[in-house]
Amino acid sequence: MSFTSSGSNFTLLSGDEELQTLRLNRLYRDWRQATHGSLLPGREFLDPARFGYLDGMLLVVDVEDCEGDHCRYRYRSAGRHFVEALKVDPSGTYMDQHPEAEFAVQAMRACDLVVKSRRPIHARADRVIEGHPFRIEFLLLPLAEHTDAVSTILIAQLFTPAGA
């Protein structure tokens, strides 16, 4: 399943895809190996030693206050490459407080789909950050703790200057 929103292309992954970007494909493969049948990996999957190849490119988002098809998302931590690219550390803030409202809506929509489907999403988007165009590639991975409900979303973001 795929959908496009304001220049972003989102694909709901089914489990056997191979991603073209090697680092994201490795993360996706690691997540699939940690998934046991219908049981999603828990927070133990977030061991920093596991992700040296994505150093500074990860966001950890807590899933809170789910009502109906929507939840509220709080950034628990943000990697240094993310903070350097956006010139802000969102740790401790909510996704709906993001200074770019359109981006926040897209991100929350993707997170809602991850929570509802319990499946990863791969996305690509073009953004302008401080006047510079970037191609951003995302991988959103659901994690669950003690129940089947998604409690955390691990997000890998790779920023590439447009045209590079």
DSSP string, 42-56: -GGGG-GGGGGGGTT
pLDDT-derived band of residue 8, with 50, 70 and 90 as boundaries? Answer: low
Instruction: Give pLDDT, residue 6.
Output: 52
Extended strands (E) in the chain: 2-5, 8-12, 58-67, 70-78, 121-129, 132-144, 150-161
Q: How far is CA 92 from the centre of its chain?
A: 16
Residues 127-161 have pLDDT tens digits of: 776 777 778 889 999 999 877 899 999 999 887 76
Instruction: Give pLDDT, residue 7.
Output: 57
Q: How far is CA 143 from the centre of its chain?
A: 11
* CATH 3.30.450.20 describes domain 2-161: yes
Residues 35-87 have pLDDT tens digits of: 987 789 998 999 878 888 887 889 999 999 888 888 999 999 988 877 876 67
Count, residues in the chain: 164
Does the model's pTM come out above 0.85?
A: yes
Task: Report the alpha-carbon distance of residue 131 to residue 121 in Å, rounded.
Answer: 27
